[in-house]
Structure 1
């Protein structure tokens, strides 16, 4: 039923047109007047009927059913008015002119004309109503969208006067929306931009030429308290009646701008890091790596000073500073305590935004970098502690709290990777140099030290062959014995020179006596003056004592006495022999150096390498009786 009613309504104007056309044809067929008069009487309704049929078909395709239904009412109303007027004219005005007994003829001209007028008026009225409804609907939608929008929406007229502002405007700018309406838009912008805004608006209204893109325009807004902040505005324009309006959607982009600035800063830091990493990579020594690291940290991060502390046993020892002066107040700190120890042990970057709360502690965290715990406003406030793997830490200090960001931690991790890689490269290069030097030593031995006893043995063998005398056998035996000792020493250097196994406490007296029993001591004597314990590789340390014993016996006089005693940070071995001249003390540890024609020159070289492999150092001085004294102590 509803579909049938809708169909009738949709075609109602066309149906009325057909009805008028049928009435017109019927009137023309039944009238017996003159044909010209008949045509005049039905011409207007005939044309109107055809027009309603054609117009009704067009309306069916272009207009909604509700509007067609309204037009049908207007058309039917026009027909009723037309018939009423015709009746009034015929019966009231012309009735007295019709002879008695003759029928009253009604023409359709009035009905057709009023129907045409009705449909035209209805079309205009319904169109106007539709436009008003659409405008009202648009305005309601606009208000619904803007009032619920999180963005500020402001409409201004041609004079830049605010005509509308939604609730979000108050939240953004701090002005009540009721106070903004009627105020100039320049109220919401800094004074330095107001004149340019008004000139730009005036130029656009006169020339209608946009000089800037209205979509996503970045400007500066000003809140009620005078604070400026970045905003993004998208403008649109429209005309309502005689009003030329502009509507802008405004959003605060402070967070986005801050993120963009952080990204720019991060990109800049990465670029600077690349330059710093290049400098670090070019460093030729660990000292240069550390200094360039400290200097680079100040260049890359917002730090006032940076210091590098290297791991030394259970301590972190400051070695370089970016200001090249503040190391005097820096003391070694525990590798397990404080912020430096925390980042070193965890291997993670440690960032502290404000050190004020921790300065009252007994151990100020700033002492990690050498500062004193006084509550001085000139003290650094922010800390970035960057671990350098097994090597130590680099710490950056800033005088502003929260000077370092999350992204600084990422850059710091990249910097640490570059530094540790450079240090590993230098260590690898040093190892390669040592191996190369060792090969050169072996080549020298093969070409010289082994060749000499070999030549002696070959010469003596030729003499035996020539003379048959066996007195030369002893010389051959000595030459072969020397060659054997050279080969053994070379193998010791090649296989174990820099290696130390597991260490454990070793009694100095026990170890000294064991080594003495392994050496041909002849008429020499041993005095052990200490029973302390040393943490060492037992088998390697015995080699040290054996070689030093042999050196004392080979260079000492008959009845040489060897003494072993302890030091505050190590031990010593001295003899009563002739001693070592001061100008030769720097050379005695070189491979192949010897003043004894029967010596190999490798005994003291082996001693030095075993000592250094333990992390110790060895110094040569004069003993209490003028002999040689070797002091072995911690570095």
Structure 2
């Protein structure tokens, strides 16, 4: 505190003399103004005491002439002290002017009375005594009238400021502000009211508030207002009340109203702040719809994930999409090669009329290639021959007169596309895209689960095959070898050695084929472009062909796993030699979409052609029955197909297509 005083003193000491003088004068002026009423009281009191000092030898007259101004002076002194503590300087200055004016008027009246009226009644040579009663009376009257007048002025000024603030706030407000009286008559409306309701504010003032509300609310509003005015009990919450408003064009819209009451003079007024909550209501409805869709999605996802096959997944996905989205029809198209093939539709009658389309065309191809959801609000302006919803996943043809207007195309990973169509433009929203992403995840997860289960089943079947081979196919040559070995020990005849060798050789080949199936199964490694002629010759050199011959009629380029393709030809060659004899001729050539391998042997009966690819099936007692099973798995692993038919010379002909 000491440091602050030093700094203040230091700053004051640095003032220039003229500046310091001005500051001092200003402070003295404020002090005089603050205590001006008290000063006037002191002056009146001193004047009264001076008058009392004049001896007139009439004590009663002296007392009468000084008691009133003496009392007024004391009152002005006490009142001035109170005013200095409670009232602003500006108002005290006004009161001082009123008091001083009263004193001047009082003295003037007194002088007029003394010199004009009473002078002629005073004996010659006697002094005229100034009477202070008039000054005291008028000073008291002046200060009282001044206090009332300045108070009224202050109240009027405050009221004007309040009204100006009110108008400044309401006129610049983005919310509608309306004041009504006890009869629900509009007394005030700001400019935002016109923007909200469409009525000019000048037309609204004087009309009933019911003009701005639908008919069904008017009677309840008037009854509620009357009940409140009579009982002063609120039946509803006045803060954040949600109702419906009525625009000048007859349109209803949701509003939120917060209002309160106040009094101005004898008026009982209510002022409400009104805002349009259409956007909020729309957002709330969208949130409710989204929540409902998520709930519905959970039910649909449960159905999808419980499906036992791909076909069931696709159908339940199409049916569920109509339940989840505001769609009239939904279709699933799956990838097959480079085409999107119709797989399921919520409209069962339309799927048979749909045709496959290229995966690079239309909105279906666009969403599949990009992996992103595609939402179109109106297809009218975007429909074209190259990019039409009728080409997306096999949409129903021109037989249906109704053209879809809105589209939601949802990629299903590597599996295909789900498309939802609506005949109402703009039917799908951005939130639908979020739900679509979740639905696509459930679908792809279900398809992956089915694939995994299928793989597990194949592995289980393969293990069962191995168990069968171990328990049966390997047991037979093993028993033969053991029996021949016992005979060899008993007789010593070497002819049993050849039988033992054949049995062991069969066991070796069985084990080798089983290992091939177990190690490689349905797997295909990295593919590359290979020439049919080159691979066929390489496989021929790996097989003990003896007197057999190979003829390559034509060749073609294949995209395949080189090593597994060689294995495929080796097994076909061995099968032809085992069943066609040493002199068999094997021909190989190209087809429109693949190749063929045929021989000049005895062929395969038509009723056995479906069995030759089963593991362990053979008509040769020295065969393992796995050669053609391995061939089929290699073909299927490449995505090809293999069929058996009759060759040119009556032998067996294997045709591989889809290459």
Fold conserved (TM > 0.5)?
yes
Q: Report what 1:345 is aligned to.
A: 369
Match of residue 251, structure 2, among 218, 227, 230: 227
Structure 1 window deviating more from structure 2 (253-262 vs 305-314): it is 253-262
Query: Kindly tell me: are residues 591 and 376 of structure 1, through their superposed partners in 2, closer, same or farther at Cα, counting changes over 3 Å?
Result: closer
- The alpha carbon displacement at 1:130 in A equals 0.9
Structure 1 window deviating more from structure 2 (290-299 vs 452-461): it is 452-461
Q: Report what 1:59 is aligned to.
A: 83
Match of residue 572, structure 1, among 596, 604, 609: 596
Mapped to 2, the partners of 1:344 and 1:170 lie a distance apart of 51
- Determine if the alignment matches structure 1 residue 131 to structure 2 residue 155: yes
- The alpha carbon displacement at 1:379 in A equals 0.9
User: Deviation per CA, 1:176-197, whole angstroms, max 9, x where unpaired?
Assistant: 2222222222222222222222
Match of residue 612, structure 1, among 614, 624, 636: 636
- Residues matched between the structures, number: 635
- Determine if the alignment matches structure 1 residue 144 to structure 2 residue 168: yes
- Determine if the alignment matches structure 1 residue 535 to structure 2 residue 559: yes
Matched residue SS, 1:331: coil
Matched residue SS, 1:401: coil
Q: Report what 1:275 is aligned to.
A: 299
- Determine if the alignment matches structure 1 residue 162 to structure 2 residue 186: yes
Mapped to 2, the partners of 1:167 and 1:306 lie a distance apart of 50
- Determine if the alignment matches structure 1 residue 215 to structure 2 residue 232: no
Mapped to 2, the partners of 1:418 and 1:607 lie a distance apart of 36
Match of residue 72, structure 1, among 86, 91, 96: 96
Match of residue 388, structure 1, among 405, 412, 416: 412
8 Å contact from structure 1 (residues 570, 633) kept in 2: yes
Using structure 2 for the length normalisation, give the TM-score: 0.87
Please, what is the CA RMSD of the aligned residues? Answer: 3.1
8 Å contact from structure 1 (residues 364, 372) kept in 2: no
- The alpha carbon displacement at 1:109 in A equals 4.3
Query: Kindly tell me: are residues 37 and 289 of structure 1, through their superposed partners in 2, closer, same or farther at Cα, counting changes over 3 Å?
Result: farther
- Determine if the alignment matches structure 1 residue 309 to structure 2 residue 333: yes
Q: Structure 2: which 5+ residue stretches go unaligned?
A: 1-24
Query: Kindly tell me: are residues 236 and 628 of structure 1, through their superposed partners in 2, closer, same or farther at Cα, counting changes over 3 Å?
Result: same
Matched residue SS, 1:211: coil
Equivalent residues in 2 for 1:46-445 (5 A)?
46-88=70-112, 101-106=125-130, 108-361=132-385, 364-371=388-395, 378-445=402-469
- The alpha carbon displacement at 1:461 in A equals 4.2
User: Deviation per CA, 1:191-250, whole angstroms, max 9, x where unpaired?
Assistant: 222222222222222222222232332222222222222222222332222222222232
User: Deviation per CA, 1:572-604, whole angstroms, max 9, x where unpaired?
Assistant: 334454554555544433333334332222212
Query: Kindly tell me: are residues 578 and 85 of structure 1, through their superposed partners in 2, closer, same or farther at Cα, counting changes over 3 Å?
Result: same
User: Deviation per CA, 1:407-460, whole angstroms, max 9, x where unpaired?
Assistant: 222222222222222222222232233333333433444444444434444454
Mapped to 2, the partners of 1:488 and 1:42 lie a distance apart of 145
- Determine if the alignment matches structure 1 residue 16 to structure 2 residue 40: yes
- The alpha carbon displacement at 1:277 in A equals 2.2
Q: Report what 2:620 is aligned to.
A: 596
8 Å contact from structure 1 (residues 621, 628) kept in 2: yes
Q: Report what 1:551 is aligned to.
A: 575
Mapped to 2, the partners of 1:617 and 1:419 lie a distance apart of 28
User: Deviation per CA, 1:124-152, whole angstroms, max 9, x where unpaired?
Assistant: 11111111111112222222333333332
Matched residue SS, 1:515: helix
Matched residue SS, 1:599: coil
Matched residue SS, 1:357: coil
- The alpha carbon displacement at 1:393 in A equals 0.7
Mapped to 2, the partners of 1:43 and 1:214 lie a distance apart of 61
User: Deviation per CA, 1:306-329, whole angstroms, max 9, x where unpaired?
Assistant: 111111111111110111221122
Equivalent residues in 2 for 1:398-547 (5 A)?
398-465=422-489, 468-547=492-571
- The alpha carbon displacement at 1:521 in A equals 3.5
Query: Kindly tell me: are residues 431 and 20 of structure 1, through their superposed partners in 2, closer, same or farther at Cα, counting changes over 3 Å?
Result: farther
Structure 1 window deviating more from structure 2 (324-333 vs 588-597): it is 588-597
- The alpha carbon displacement at 1:509 in A equals 4.7
Structure 1 window deviating more from structure 2 (35-44 vs 583-592): it is 35-44
Structure 1 window deviating more from structure 2 (125-134 vs 184-193): it is 184-193
Query: Kindly tell me: are residues 93 and 309 of structure 1, through their superposed partners in 2, closer, same or farther at Cα, counting changes over 3 Å?
Result: same
Mapped to 1, the partners of 2:286 and 2:491 lie a distance apart of 94
Query: Kindly tell me: are residues 225 and 97 of structure 1, through their superposed partners in 2, closer, same or farther at Cα, counting changes over 3 Å?
Result: same
User: Deviation per CA, 1:231-284, whole angstroms, max 9, x where unpaired?
Assistant: 222223322222222222322222222222222222222222222223222222
Match of residue 2, structure 1, among 19, 23, 26: 26
Matched residue SS, 2:381: helix
- The alpha carbon displacement at 1:25 in A equals 4.5
User: Deviation per CA, 1:495-529, whole angstroms, max 9, x where unpaired?
Assistant: 22222234344444554444344333345455554
Matched residue SS, 2:255: strand
- The alpha carbon displacement at 1:607 in A equals 0.9
Mapped to 2, the partners of 1:586 and 1:231 lie a distance apart of 76
Mapped to 1, the partners of 2:493 and 2:52 lie a distance apart of 171
8 Å contact from structure 2 (residues 350, 396) kept in 1: no
Using structure 1 for the length normalisation, give the TM-score: 0.90
Structure 1 window deviating more from structure 2 (556-565 vs 109-118): it is 556-565
Query: Kindly tell me: are residues 579 and 53 of structure 1, through their superposed partners in 2, closer, same or farther at Cα, counting changes over 3 Å?
Result: farther
Q: Report what 2:4 is aligned to.
A: none
